Amino acid sequence: MQKEESVLYAGQLLEKVYDRLKEELPCEEITFPERVFVEIANDSDGHRHRTGYMGYDSVLFIKTEEKGLIIGCGEACGNYPADPYSRDILLLKVPLIGESPKQLSEIKRCMERSDYFRNSIIVAMANGYFGIQKESKLPLPDISEFVAQEAEINPDVLHLDLRPVYRKTMGYKQELVDVIIGAIKKMILS
């Protein structure tokens, strides 16, 4: 009997990447007393305020000689402008400051200035696709060979903002976790 391969969806995949980085990198996990919110989308006008965020409960802190690096795995939250997104991996340089409380407030300040995915190296969309910024320099190969389940659109229904509704989201093979981890390590440790 053939073993059935389990499928990871984009958001789950980035969670696994973050958890494995926590184990494999020389880092310290910093848990925030309150979730840190970074604005990712806004559909506000003079009559209402609707904002989408990535929320971070913790980050990984890597201390080098000259700087600190933080890696966070955010979760989309807030109002409907965040609906197209699922999770992201944030990579950000922060200045080194001596004491822990000062360092924590500096990390939060730097994160909050990372709005609209400015420092996200990879973003998982709600439909299962990934967004990767060219500026991130994440050395990923073509990930189409890791697709385990194709996305399927429902042609009969649209969201209120005319986005398609998906019956199935894109799913990926477990091996893609190792590929993304390898790319992130190559990017930050080189």
d(CA 181, CA 16): 10
Tens digit of each residue's pLDDT (9 = 90 or more) over 142-162: 999 999 999 999 999 998 788
Residue 35 pLDDT > 70, yes or no?
yes
Q: What is the pLDDT of residue 4?
A: 47
Q: Is the pLDDT of residue 57 over 80?
A: yes
Provide the pLDDT for residue 101.
66
The pLDDT-based confidence of 3 (bands split at 50, 70, 90) is very low
pLDDT, one tens digit per residue, over 82-115 is 999 999 999 999 988 766 767 888 999 999 999 9
H/E stretch holding 183: helix 175-189
Range of lowest pLDDT (17-26, 41-50, 124-133): 41-50
- The confidence score (pLDDT) of residue 36 equals 97
Average pLDDT value over all residues in the chain: 91
pTM for the model? 0.91
Joined tokens for residue 152: 């399927």
pLDDT band at 8 (very low <50, low <70, confident <90, very high): very high
Residue among 61, 157, 154, 155 at smallest CA distance from 108:
61
With a cut of 60, say whether residue 1 has pLDDT above it: no
Find, among 171, 77, 76, the residue nearest to 128 by Cα: 171
Q: What's residue 55's pLDDT?
A: 98
